[in-house]
Amino acid sequence: MTSLFPDVSLSTERLVLRPFEADDAAALADMVNDESVAAWTTLPHPFTRAHARDWIAHRAPGARLGGEGLVLAVTEFLTQRLVGLVRLGRTDWDLRATELSCVTASWARGEGYAAEAALAVSQWLFTERRFARVELRTAADNTAAQQVAQRIGCVSEGVLRGAWIARHRDHTGVLRRSRTDLIVWSLLPEDLDDDIEAPAVHEETRPEHGPVRAYADWN
């Protein structure tokens, strides 16, 4: 039997991390269509509302049900606005290890939301799910993602040369693909820095709702 993450919601002082809902489709499409998101992800570009609805209804829950990982919407506690997402993927249940990545909406950047969400999920993985390793992989030119890794206490382990394809528009406006390196970061339970204030995390496990088709690859 494949191991699965629970259908869970987490909350911090400022954020609620929960499964995506149908009403998130418009905000998700707007967030992912930002070209700074397209540059560093493999999600379709343009990312339409039809893509968002399929992603919410099938691909995100399918990642959990297939044992691959977990996808959580990140929302502001006070306004309930979608500010980003956190994805766990490539989960190894024997090693108790998983890869974490984040996306932040353009209007919500600079508030520390990505680091707060990533730290909350990591803390939950270590304390409640008995995980031993969280890994982040950041493109060499993605300084924002590298800052998140550093802020939550990750250790840089090395470089995977030529391991990623970034997407950027050239001077003519054409979206081009270019090969770049990936920096590998890891976070272990003992790496959590006492000087970094970990958010208080509250967990709520949601009841299961009928079958959802699992996707082996939802990128």
Q: What pTM was estimated for this model as a whole? A: 0.86
Within 10 angstroms of residue 34's Cβ, the number of other Cβ atoms is 17
pLDDT in tens, 85-119: 999 999 999 999 999 999 999 999 999 999 999 99
pLDDT score at 200:
59
Contact 116, 201 (CB under 8 A): no
pLDDT score at 217:
39
Is residue 45 classed exposed, middle or buried when 0-12, 13-18 and 19+ CB atoms within 10 A define those classes? middle
Q: Are strands 133-139 and 97-104 parallel, antiparallel or unpaired?
A: parallel
Spatial CA neighbour of 32 closest among 106, 89, 87:
106
pLDDT score at 204:
67
144 SS3 class: helix
pLDDT in tens, 17-39: 999 999 999 999 999 998 888 88
Architecture of the domain spanning 8-205: 3-Layer(aba) Sandwich (3.40)
pLDDT score at 207:
58
pLDDT score at 175:
75
Query: Could you say which residues of the chain have pLDDT below 50?
Result: 1, 209-219
Whole-angstrom Cα distance, residue 176 to residue 32?
Answer: 17
User: What are 136's strand-pairing partners?
Assistant: 185
pLDDT score at 1:
46
Phi-psi region of 55 (alpha: psi -120 to 50; beta: other; left: phi over 0): alpha
